[in-house]
């Protein structure tokens, strides 16, 4: 069955970076894009962007350009999102989701990122 397994919670200091992973299984990894979504209590669900897992091409929400960098390792069927220059506003749960004909039919379990000094 399709599974997206995300890395564990992160505690980071302001100004630093974190890199979250999303390991896919149960399907052909390069047949579907991987998207990333941010969830906060105040802003709800926000689309960050997607990565073409075959070509590595990316599409970013303008709001997250310069903040998020999406990459992929096809050999391990894993997508990554790096968040840089962290501030407390980046504290959130981040999800990866498979993007196909039925967008976001499969989600990872979420990764909590807490930014605090």
Partner 1 sequence: DIVLTQAPLSVSVTPGESASISCRSSKSLLSSKGITSLYWYLQKPGKSPQLLIYRMSNLASGVPDRFSGSGSETDFTLKISKVETEDVGVYYCAQFLEYPFTFGSGTKLEIK
Nearer to partner 1, 21 or 35 (CB): 35
State how beta strands 10-12 and 68-73 pair.
unpaired
Nearer to partner 1, 13 or 62 (CB): 62
C-beta of residue 32 within 8 angstroms of C-beta of residue 99: yes
In the bound complex, what is the minimum distance in angstroms from residue 117's beta carbon to partner 1?
Answer: 28
In the bound complex, what is the minimum distance in angstroms from residue 68's beta carbon to partner 1?
Answer: 12
In the bound complex, what is the minimum distance in angstroms from residue 15's beta carbon to partner 1?
Answer: 26
Binding site for partner 1 (CB under 8 A): 35, 44-47, 59, 61-63, 95, 102-105, 107-110
Question: φ, ψ for residue 30 (rounded to 5)?
Answer: -80, 0
Range list of H helices, the chain:
none
């Amino acid at each position: 069955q399709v599974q997206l397994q995300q890395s564990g919670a992160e505690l980071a200091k302001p100004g630093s970076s974190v890199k979250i992973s999303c390991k896919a299984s149960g399907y052909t990894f390069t047949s579907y894009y991987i998207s990333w979504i941010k969830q906060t209590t105040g802003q709800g669900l926000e689309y960050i962007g997607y990565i073409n897992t075959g070509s590595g091409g990316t599409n970013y929400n303008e709001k997250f350009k310069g903040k998020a960098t999406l990459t992929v390792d096809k050999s391990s069927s894993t997508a990554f999102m790096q968040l840089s220059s962290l501030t407390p506003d980046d504290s959130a749960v981040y999800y990866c989701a498979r993007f196909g004909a039925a967008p976001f039919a499969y989600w990872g379990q979420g990764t909590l990122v807490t930014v605090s000094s």
